[in-house]
Amino acid sequence: MTKLSVNINKFATLRNSRGGNNPDVVKAAIDAERFGADGVTVHPRPDERHIRYEDVRNIKKIVTTEFNIEGNCSEQKFVDLVLEVKPHQVTLVPDALGQLTSDHGWDTIKHKDYLTDIIKVFKNAGIRVSIFVDPDIKMVEGAAATGTDRIELYTEGYATAFLENKEKAIAPYVAAAEKAKALGIGLNAGHDLDLNNLQYFSKHIPWLDEVSIGHALVCDALYMGYENTVQLYKRQLM
């Protein structure tokens, strides 16, 4: 079954809006696991506007499932943090400085040499590497050439198109996923997946290894409760 990794960034956004430690992001990570999540994801950014670097260190101490750190590997501070913490997985995202949220995948052809080198750095430290890519067969092929363990399909395009034509929306993702499978690389997905579109996505790509979901899951938890929401998302993957 596809694993669910809960991105807890939004808990940190809420905490930072008032200062102090409410909500406690370490407890949010503990509870995500306790409520049935298969892993915890964080995405620290250089300005620490949500998850702080010290949060990452503290969460690593308590994670009992899988820990995934996303971020921009062009920032040396991020690279140093990942090598220090040694999560189970690092997901490399081509964010610009100050970017509100991730909005595109790597050009794995243009940046092949850079990605190959940085992936080796993490893999030599025993960390599984996934890189963020758009659902483009050429980008998937380029990713495989870098030596990455997995790719994460950027799913905002799917989520947006799903409301109008779900068959058309899923088609490029199935093609990209099939190419990844044929090339022998693992497959993750994330961004704007929610209770409306997640099951359809996972049913059409049953070999999907992991989805990372934060914003929609936390929004749903405000109305339905954190534990119930984690379980509802898990059921979409069965």
Whole-number average pLDDT of the chain:
95
b (16+ CB within 10 A) / e for 114-131: ebeebbeebeeeebbbbb
Neighbours of 156 (CB within 10 A): 16
- pLDDT interval class at 96 (50, 70, 90): low
Query: Residue 101 pLDDT > 70, yes or no?
Result: no
What was the pLDDT predicted at 151? 98
What was the pLDDT predicted at 106? 93
What was the pLDDT predicted at 46? 86
- From the candidates 33, 70, 152, 210, which is the catalytic residue? 70
Mean of pLDDT values over 104-120: 94
- From the candidates 43, 66, 152, 210, which is the catalytic residue? 43
Half-sphere exposure of residue 48: CA atoms within 13 angstroms, side-chain side: 11
Taking the CA atoms of the chain, what radius of gyration do you get in angstroms? 17
The pair of structure tokens assigned to 22 is 């409410």
Mean of pLDDT values over 200-213: 98
Mean of pLDDT values over 118-132: 98
- From the candidates 33, 50, 152, 191, which is the catalytic residue? 191
Mean of pLDDT values over 38-44: 97
Mean of pLDDT values over 89-113: 80
- pLDDT interval class at 58 (50, 70, 90): very high
The amino acid occupying position 54 is: E
What was the pLDDT predicted at 47? 87
Mean of pLDDT values over 165-181: 98
141 is catalytic: no
Asked if CATH classification 3.20.20.70 holds for the domain at 3-236, the reply, yes or no, is yes
The amino acid occupying position 136 is: D
Provide the Cα torsion 37, 47, 109, 204; round to 10°: 20
Long-range Cβ contacts of 8-12 (<8 Å, 24+ apart) = 8/32, 8/40, 8/41, 8/42, 8/51, 8/214, 8/218, 9/42, 9/43, 9/50, 9/51, 9/214, 10/50, 10/214, 10/215, 10/218, 10/219, 11/218, 12/50, 12/51, 12/52, 12/55
Half-sphere exposure of residue 207: CA atoms within 13 angstroms, side-chain side: 16
- pLDDT interval class at 18 (50, 70, 90): very high
> How far separated are the first and last CA of the chain, in Å rounded?
6
Least confident segment among 75-79, 99-103, 182-186, 230-234: 99-103
- pLDDT interval class at 97 (50, 70, 90): low
70 is catalytic: yes
